[in-house]
A and B are shown apart, each in its own frame.
Chain A
Amino acid sequence: MDAAPSGLTADTTTVAALAARDEATFARLVDHWASAMFRVARSHVSTDASAEEVVQDTWLAVLRGLDRFEGRSSLRTWVFRILVNTAKTRGVRERRTVPMSALAPAETGPTVDPDRFRDADDAYPGGWKVFPAPWPSPDHGVLGRDARTVVVEAIRELPDRQRAVVTLRDVHGFGADEVCTMLDLSPGNQRVLLHRGRAAVRARLERHFGATARWGATP
């Protein structure tokens, strides 16, 4: 999912609406980008409250600077650039020292339970003991409301950095390069966090579909 209205023409319209004090347009942007903005802010500052302040300060800077939006980048890119600058300035002031570049121990190791694969002394070491049970087709709910609820819960429970990357990449549709820049990540670490986050969300969906038994082959 990307910016509510896509394309630069739509951006120009949106900016004009904001400049004309159209509160509904503002509310729509706030809601639509909230989770992405909060996650980016949160990655640079120490507390949730501080991240909310950053989002608040960003919107104020955006509104006050509307006449400086030239349409050379998308509105989303422009807003998030202001957000990152605001968040980093505040992060420095808070002397936040959590190194975003290093991976924590919880961010290494297998993403699928090793017990699901055959042992080294097996004829097929590292092969599935039992194949993953098939999921329902999109017509039968893999993209439906229940599945989306499971995904929301799973993303919420991810460790912060995985949560930020999965939210930005898969929910909001930001590109890998953008996410690396916004979160100060190397391309390799961005992929590791995305990989672990996606695997954890998939595992939650697997449990969900497994519980709705008729889809799963019985192991």
Chain B
Amino acid sequence: MTDSLTCAELVELVTDYLEGALEPAARRRFDEHLAVCLGCEDYLDQIRATIATAGRVTPDDLDPVARDRLLATFRDWAGSDPKV
């Protein structure tokens, strides 16, 4: 391994970087590369934008909810149990 990081290497480290999982030396190399590489800076920004967009997804859109069945369960429970 050379001292500096290539773009191809950096893109595979972005998650470790964002998660704070890089060793100090590796983090320094990452920051040094980022400071001089517009392409990688954009790539990292796009990963951040991806995360931000995922955070705005309405969770109900992602998986089918067996809503009717769950509400039926709720009504059964609400009807049978004595009120607290």
Residues of A within 8 A of B (CB): 1, 19-21, 23, 26-27, 30-36, 38-39, 52, 55-56, 59-60, 63-64, 66-67, 110-112, 114, 117, 124-128, 131-132, 134-135, 138, 142-143, 147-148, 151-152, 155-156, 166-167, 170-173, 176, 187, 191, 194-195, 198-199, 201-202, 205-206
Name the distance in Å between B57's Cβ and chain A's nearest Cβ.
5
What class of interface size applies to chain B in its complex with A? 35 or more
Known A-B contacts: A155-B62, A206-B46. Give 11 more (CB < 8 A): A1-B56, A23-B71, A27-B67, A59-B74, A64-B81, A112-B43, A117-B8, A143-B52, A148-B58, A198-B51, A202-B46
Chain B residues with Cβ under 8 A from A143's Cβ?
A: 49, 52-53, 56
| Bound Cα distance from A187 to B15, whole angstroms | 12
| Bound Cα distance from A20 to B75, whole angstroms | 12
Establish whether residues A20 and B83, one from each chain, have CB atoms under 8 Å apart when the complex forms. Answer: yes
Name the distance in Å between B43's Cβ and chain A's nearest Cβ.
5
Residues of B within 8 A of A (CB): 6-9, 11-12, 14-16, 19, 21, 37-40, 42-43, 45-47, 49-63, 65-67, 69-71, 73-75, 77-78, 81, 83-84
